[in-house]
Amino acid sequence: MPAHTRLEHLGLWVLAAALYAWISPDGLLYWDSFGYVSQCAQGQVGGLMLGRPLFVLLGHTIARITGLFSVDLAHLEPTLRAVCTLTAALSAPLTAALALSLGTSRAASRWAGLVVAASPAIAHAAGAVLTDGPALSATLAALCVAQRAQHARHWLFAGALFALSVGLREPSISFGSVLVAIACAQERTTRVRALLLISLGFLLLAVPTLAWCWGQPGWRESVLAWRVAMARERLEPRSLLRDGAIYLGWLFALGPVALFAALRGWSQFRALLGSWREARFWVCTLSLAQLILLAFYQDISFSPRYLMAAFPGAIALVAGLVLAQVRTRAVTVAWVAAVLAPALIAGPVLRRREAPLRSVIDSVPARLAHVATDTVIVTGQACPAVQLRRTIERIRLQNHSELQPRWVTVCPGWSWPNDLSQALAAHCTAGRPVLVDLRPQSYVGERQQRALATLTQWAERVRSDPREVCHARTTRW
């Protein structure tokens, strides 16, 4: 790779890291992030799918290194967030590198990388402690290596990188069809060999990872619990019209200029993507298929981060081909400003919107300092913050088991009881105090709002009836 190209890719990485840090939450905000920090601190696989094992292993290594310099686990989250941000920012130069390897011009590759670097939706998730950003970078790296492969070790390395992306986030497997497509786009004599070597490289990393998972206490039970929870979630009522509207909004949030440029590109895809015999055609079309199918994902209304894996191939590469057709410098500058503007505006706008929830989450440690160790805590988006604080305190007090908190959390979502009154009455009968959080800013999204409504009705009934078993044991946060 020429020196000027490497310099361009370095610039894209720095730009992406800066924009991701500018837009992303300043601290824990995503529900999953709290669990990831807890799992990395303890070195335990989580309860999502197979447990994101490689993410946990790498995070636990970072936690051990962090522990050499600070005994306060509160410093772990900023470290993990910085590592995730810098790793996720690699997706911008890797998209540009993939575009070059697929035969696009330097201008098209630069535009594709810029689109990924300046995506507000990607930046918000990529700058948090989440698996999405690092997994996307690993997948793009696998694609780049596979496309440029000349020797057997390259195919093996591509397969290992693909296994890394799946170990970071298991849904990356859905993007694996692109790897197969690239292998199939090679010469007939190398096609089977490429597929076999990719598969072997994948297995060389995936098998030991699964073997490690199998030996972890509670792993098989967590996988079963995840499957049960997902089945339960699929039975919940959905509004396809509302979810469809949110999905379209997420596409816009990925980057309005990129979206419109990609739509134009797909309208002339035969001229831009070439024939079905070319790898570029397969990367883009299979990514587009994945992007469309995600419209029907049951949790698509929660976050645009679920679209990250398909974004580079379905939108960024195609948009880059269209934007590269700009000829004059003045128009180019105008388009660059248009691509960057949403990201620059999104930072302060999102921070202002997140301020009430940020205040709730930041207040959790101080509030818990005055809560009895056996309290049942019912809250919304602050629920995983309580669980993380419980983990931190248990690690800190591991030599004083009698002082360790035993808080029980009742959270919206998978663990929300079918009969809230019965569940809380059982805790009260057992002698546990119940702390309820009725602050509207603590509850985010339709599911949590339904939980708040149920909790409010229960709290009002308990407060007004002295005969209720929980009457004397219930307090408000």
pLDDT digits (tens, 9 = 90+) for 108-124: 999 999 999 999 999 99
**Residue tagged 């309580």 (tokens):** 386
**Residue tagged 């939980």 (tokens):** 451
Residue 71 has pLDDT above 60, yes or no: no
Q: For residues 272 and 262, what is the distance between their CA atoms, to the nearest angstrom? A: 11
Confidence of residue 188 (pLDDT cuts 50, 70, 90): low
Confidence of residue 44 (pLDDT cuts 50, 70, 90): confident
CB 336 within 8 A of CB 116: no
Name the 3-class secondary structure at 456.
helix
pLDDT at position 26 is 87
Q: For the chain, what percentages of helix, strand and coil (3-state, to nearest 5) are there?
A: 75, 5, 25
Percent of the chain residues past pLDDT 70, beyond the cut:
98
| Cβ atoms within 10 Å, residue 25 | 20
Task: List Cα–Cα distances, 415 to 228, 380, 439, in angstroms.
Answer: 11, 12, 20
Q: What is the mean pLDDT of residues 462-469?
A: 91
**Residue tagged 């134009």 (tokens):** 264
Q: pLDDT tens-digit profile of 371-399? A: 999 999 999 999 999 999 999 888 888 88
Beta bridge mates, 476: 436
Whole-model pTM: value is 0.93
Percent of the chain residues past pLDDT 90, beyond the cut:
68
Residue 13 has pLDDT above 90, yes or no: yes
Structure tokens at 51: 């447990």
Structure tokens at 50: 């197979």
Q: What sign has the CA pseudo-torsion 254, 255, 258, 261? A: positive
pLDDT at position 247 is 95
Q: Calculate the CA 423 to chain-centre distance.
A: 32
